[in-house]
Amino acid sequence: MDPVSPSLTPAMGMAGVILIIAYILIFSEVIHRTLAGIIGAVAMILVGLVGDFYTQEAAIAAIDANTMFLLMGMMILVSLLRPTGGFEYLAIRMAKLSRGSPTRLLIYLSTVVTLISLFLDNVTTVLVFAPLTVVIARMLGTTPVPYLMAEALLSDTGGVATLVGDPPNVMIGSAAQIDFNQFLFHMGPIIFVAWFITLILLLFLFREDLAKPFSGVLDLDEAKALKDPKALRRISFAIGVVILLFFVHHRFELFPGYVAWIGVALALALTRPNPEETLKALDWSVLAFFAALFIIVGGVQSSGLLDLLGTQLASIAQDPDQILLTALAFLWISALLSAALDNIPFTVTMIPIIAHLETQGVDVMPLWWALAMGVGLGGNGTHIGSTANVVCVAEAERTGVPAYRITPWIWLKKGTPVMLATLMVASLLLVLFFPYYQGG
């Protein structure tokens, strides 16, 4: 390994400037983040070639194929599942099971969304459930706000528990070589507690809305919502195989990305959809954004800048007595930044820094867990902290009813306390059980 330069070099400067400009464009939303990412990636390669610190081969190698294939595979499975009406069926069933109780409706809908978010991308899950929630709430003559916010907050929280629950976890797991079970056994307990705290808090914060009985009738036939029961059964079977394989993928030395595509191959063989329609439904913009970010950060890493930053951090983190404090600092800084900014670029940037710390003899396992929890739980802090939040706010806005708008102030009153509570719980549990979260 090349020794780390003790000071800033021209290559680091050039790479750093490209990174900063790209991130400003991404966070400011002057242009779409994917466009900003692509332009930034191309600029980084160009600057790298000119500055002789980043090659085209290195740029391609910087793209984490496991992450990309895992995300793509799960997206395909969801795109196959959506037209079957399975999500609509579930939403209506949960609404009917609540039997006229606003509290039960909130718990059931949020629990279903969380369970799905453990294995399928929580943004897609919320994208599907949010409009259904609005219809159900309006039919029942109640405000959809508590249910929408609960779905966003609880799916964000729950998604932190598994390797595949949200994109940052996928990237962290891939970089840190953490398998599915390891992730679940370490994150699961903390997130389980955090999830319950979130639920209880939400039931308390929305107690006035939830105390009002429904004034309408839920006249929905879930059987009619099912467009293709046969396809639903087959695709559910394929997803079931994927989930089972996630639990044992490390035993067979299978990448999680490959496991997802086993499910895709099975689902395609069983349902034989039109491949053009299936692939058209993928969120290519998100995939391109991820690839672009990997290239941009790869360039910064190639320049040595991230290693320089990591070396500075190592002087603090190397002290075994300081590692817990370092982990807590990671947790809270990640969370606060994720509340305000897109957590994906932050995660992609932190990964090589933490990886470099490991080469400096630092026990980085606590930092990986802290990063995963921070970027996952921090997204609950503001109405723009996570894409799921943005989706729910937009859906509430679309009702056209002023009383149903989820304003930043409403999120500050209801969502931010949830984020702070879950971070405090996570911090406390991390402190209490720290040896379990250490490496070696």
Partner 1 sequence: MKLAHLAIPTGVMRRSNTLRDFFMETARCNVPGLPYVDEQGRLIGRISIREVYKQIAVPDHLLRLADALGDQTDNLDLPEIQVAEMLALPVEDYRLDHMPTVSPRSSIVKALALMEVHNSSYVFLLDGEAYQGVVTRMVIAKRMIECVMEQEREPPASDRQP
Q: Which residues would be at the binding site for partner 1 (CB under 8 A)?
A: 88, 92, 130-132, 134-135, 138-141, 215-217, 219-222, 224-225, 227, 395, 398-401
Q: Between residues 64 and 283, which has the closer beta carbon with respect to partner 1?
A: 283
Cα dihedral across residues 418, 132, 73, 27: positive or negative: negative
Alpha helices in 4-63, H assignment, sequence order: 10-28, 33-51, 56-62
> What are 58's two structure tokens?
């290195």
Within 8 A by CB and 6+ apart from 276, the residues are none
Give the chain's end-to-end CA distance (angstroms, integer): 23
How near is the Cβ of 133 to partner 1 at its closest, in Å?
9
How near is the Cβ of 277 to partner 1 at its closest, in Å?
18
How near is the Cβ of 222 to partner 1 at its closest, in Å?
7
Q: Between residues 62 and 150, which has the closer beta carbon with respect to partner 1?
A: 150
Residues recorded for the chain: 440
> What are 43's two structure tokens?
């600029």
Q: Between residues 118 and 140, which has the closer beta carbon with respect to partner 1?
A: 140
How near is the Cβ of 263 to partner 1 at its closest, in Å?
25
Q: Between residues 127 and 170, which has the closer beta carbon with respect to partner 1?
A: 127
Of 339, 344, 310, which is closest to residue 326 (Cα–Cα)? Answer: 310
Rounded-to-integer distance, Cα 91 and Cα 110, Å: 10
Within 8 A by CB and 6+ apart from 227, the residues are 83, 84, 85
Per the CB < 8 A criterion, the answer to whether 130 and 123 are in contact is no
How near is the Cβ of 135 to partner 1 at its closest, in Å?
5
Q: Between residues 170 and 388, which has the closer beta carbon with respect to partner 1?
A: 388
How near is the Cβ of 112 to partner 1 at its closest, in Å?
16
Cα dihedral across residues 80, 63, 350, 337: positive or negative: negative
Alpha carbon of 69 to those of 163, 236, 248, 291: distances in Å?
A: 14, 20, 18, 11
How near is the Cβ of 225 to partner 1 at its closest, in Å?
4
Residue 227 DSSP one-character state = S
Q: Between residues 68 and 139, which has the closer beta carbon with respect to partner 1?
A: 139
Q: Between residues 52 and 221, which has the closer beta carbon with respect to partner 1?
A: 221
